[in-house]
Amino acid sequence: MRTLYVIGIGAGDPDQVTMQAVKALREIDVYFVIGKGVEKQELVAVRTAILTEYADRPYRIVEIPDPPRDRDPADYRDTVLDWHERRSLLLEEAFAAQEGVGAILVWGDPALYDSTLRMVERVLARGALDFDYTVIPGVTSVHALAARHRTVLHRIGEPVHITTGRRLREEGLGTGSTVVMLDADCAFTTVPDDTFIWWGAYLGMSDEALIAGRVGAVAGEIVRQRTQLRERKGWIMDIYLLRPAE
Ligand SMILES: C[S@@+](CC[C@H](N)C(=O)[O-])C[C@H]1O[C@@H](n2cnc3c(N)ncnc32)[C@H](O)[C@@H]1O
């Protein structure tokens, strides 16, 4: 039976690749890269550095272009599901055309805000292609953030909630700790001033930026740095932890 690996590669620092991932990389014949056309050069460079350092055998890279997607749809969920279906068809086609052990490298960990596993399940569910797949966990950006700020994600015995910037704006801040990802518009500016924030951008990469403090004291500085970095680099990837004052 054909084998496919879905491998979490960590959130930007090639040293975050696990030994389990390194062992898998030594078995892989072909890497499927989905949506490379829109990927940032630095993200491609991280992946290249990982393969150069750890995949000590010949391999092929097959690029699968992303199908077009409506970024502002009337029905968000249906549009995303349709897009996943079209992506999974392209993956199926590419996988069927290749020999050997395949892999998809996933930023951070495949279980967190990533659609690769859903896509692979769709390919299997269609039943045209029979294969077994293995998921290898990676260091998430959530964990990279906590480590760089040397902090625990929650207070003793309390829960931690992981959400998006859009939902933080719509739903407000809960009582426990909240990690916010995928935030294009600085949703932290909407929470009370005495909330504590631990913010990080480009974690593990050469332009890494870290700021921590009360929202009322540091939000302006985060917005300023975020804008400057995004203008200079053309893109931004940031994440933060919020905790209401006790
Ligand atoms: C599509 S999600 C992918 C998350 C990924 N699977 C993970 O395990 O971290 C992308 C979001 O992850 C966060 N992120 C990923 N890598 C990051 C990094 N190196 N620095 C800061 N934020 C990062 C940002 O919030 C970004 O908007």
**213-230 pLDDT tens trace:** 999 999 999 999 999 999
Backbone torsions φ then ψ of 142, nearest 5 degrees: -65, -45
Specify the ligand 1 atom closest to the Cα of 140: 8
The pLDDT of residue 36 is 53
Report yes or no: 106 and 114 within 8 Å, Cβ to Cβ. Answer: yes
Report how far residue 243's alpha carbon sits from residue 70's, in angstroms, rounded to the nearest whole number: 34
The pLDDT of residue 76 is 78
The pLDDT of residue 83 is 81
> Mean pLDDT in the chain?
93
Residue nearest to atom 1 of ligand 1 (CA): 113
Ligand 1 centroid from CA 100, angstroms: 30
Residue 179, beta-bridge partner list = 162, 241
Q: What percent of the chain has pLDDT over 90?
A: 80
Is the pLDDT at 233 greater than 70? The verdict is yes
As for ligand 1, residues whose beta carbon falls within 6 Å of it are 11-12, 107-109, 112-114, 140-141, 181-182, 200-204, 237-239
Residue 177 buriedness (CB in 10 A; 0-12 / 13-18 / 19+): buried
The pLDDT of residue 78 is 79
From the list 196, 199, 202, the residue with the least C-alpha distance to 233 is 202
Ligand 1 centroid from CA 44, angstroms: 15
Average of pLDDT values for 4-17?
A: 96
Ligand 1 centroid from CA 203, angstroms: 9
Is the pLDDT at 173 greater than 70? The verdict is yes
Is the pLDDT at 25 greater than 60? The verdict is yes
Is the pLDDT at 37 greater than 70? The verdict is no
Pocket test for ligand 1, best of 181, 202, 222 (most atoms within 8 A of CB): 181
Residue 68 buriedness (CB in 10 A; 0-12 / 13-18 / 19+): exposed
Average of pLDDT values for 117-130?
A: 93
Is the pLDDT at 39 greater than 60? The verdict is no
- Label each residue of the chain as H, E or C: CEEEEEEECECCCHHHCCHHHHHHHCCCCEEEEECHHHCCHHHHHHHHHHHHHHCCCCCEEEEECCCCCCCCCCCHHHHHHHHHHHHHHHHHHHHHCCCCCEEEEECECCCCCCCHHHHHHHHHHHCCCCEEEEEECCCCHHHHHHHHCCCCCCCCCCCEEEEEHHHHHHHCCCCCEEEEECCCCCHHHHCCCCCEEEEEECCCCCCCEEEEEEHHHHHHHHHHHHHHHHHHHCCCCEEEEEECCC
**42-99 pLDDT tens trace:** 888 888 899 999 998 999 999 888 877 776 777 777 787 788 888 899 999 999 999 9
- Range from 40-44, 163-167, 198-202 carrying the lowest mean pLDDT: 40-44
- Range from 17-31, 58-72, 227-241 carrying the lowest mean pLDDT: 58-72
Q: What percent of the chain has pLDDT over 70?
A: 98
Both tokens assigned to 165: 């910037």
Is the pLDDT at 117 greater than 60? The verdict is yes
The pLDDT of residue 193 is 98
